[in-house]
Amino acid sequence: MPRNDLMDTATLPSGEKGYVARQDVPAGAVVGSWEESAVDSEPTKFTIQVGRDRHVDADAVRYLNHSCVPSTFVDASTGSVVALRPLAAGDALTFFYPSTEWEMTTPFDCACGHAGCLGKITGAEALSADVLRRYAVNDHIRALVADRDAVAVD
Ligand SMILES: [Zn+2]
């Protein structure tokens, strides 16, 4: 069963809609999920990429905002949103968009405010392997980076 019962939708200080933790959860907790049978769709502002050419539109990720210091990891292989650290009720649920997205349909200037903020977020395609190594990223992103960098090297 898909779950998002540990998420609440909130209006963030930025005015954007986003998910927050409904209750305290430990690191490693699954706070959201979607079914394997979720319908693939064309990439949009609300989908996440789960394979080279697969995009899923699921409640569990629709209002999961980006952060350069994310609080969750979206695991495309299991269809789940996993807490990266202990979360308190009301903490913003965020993930690192380039961990699933190779090229984003809606690039934006990140305002997460963290010291390591990457600035413009356009997807993993624009990031070096060194930068991506700092983050948990999905297998399809690792594979796409390997393909890209194999072509770039003599
Ligand atoms: Zn940022």
Cα 153 to ligand 1 centre (Å) = 29
| pLDDT tens readout for residues 37-57 | 666 778 888 889 999 889 998
Cα–ligand 1 centroid distance for 117 (angstroms):
4
Cα–Cα dist 95/121, whole Å? 12
Structure tokens, 17? 């809609």
Rg (CA), the chain: 15
Of 8-17, 18-27, 62-71, 118-127, the one with minimum mean pLDDT is 8-17
In the predicted model, is pLDDT for residue 36 greater than 80? no
The rounded distance, in Å, linking the Cα atoms of 119 and 116 is 9
Domain covering 7-152: architecture = Beta Complex (2.170)
Segments making up each domain of the chain, as ranges: 7-152
Ligand 1 center–CA 110 separation, angstroms:
5
The CA-based angle 9-84-63, given to 5 degrees, is: 25
Instruction: Determine the Cα–Cα distance for residues 121 and 117; give it in Å rounded to an integer.
Output: 10
